[in-house]
Amino acid sequence: MTEIERGSGNVYADLDLPGAEEMLVKAQLATKIREIVDARNWTQREAAQVLGMTQPKLSNMLRGQFRGISETKMLECLARLGRDVRIVVGPDRHAEVQGHIEVVFAA
């Protein structure tokens, strides 16, 4: 019988990969960039020009190969695509527990 274990919601953490939280954030940002590019029916070459990167680098990012592409660059890409990007730092939770990073996309 196969045992099934419920995931944490972060596949990178479940696989015990280093930088799991950052990788999840980048995956979410890359997914949103892909959605916008696809909705505009742009080629990767057209999108890369708007985003200020090479087509091969964009292709890698959209395929989940985003090591070497900073979160800042990905946020800049979203801004270039006409999205407002806000970074909100929450209040101190007065806890010994480390805070976390979360990506929330507004409707």
Distance CA 52, CA 80 (A): 9
> What stretches of 2-97 show up as alpha helix (H) in DSSP?
11-14, 20-39, 44-51, 55-62, 71-80
Please give the backbone phi and psi of residue 42, each rounded to the nearest 5 degrees, phi first. -85, 150
**Residue where the block lists tokens 């909705």:** 39
pLDDT of 57 reads 94
Residue 81 has pLDDT above 80, yes or no: yes
The class (CATH top level) of 11-80 is: mainly alpha
pLDDT of 105 reads 85
Distance CA 80, CA 3 (A): 45
pLDDT in tens, 30-48: 999 999 999 999 999 999 9
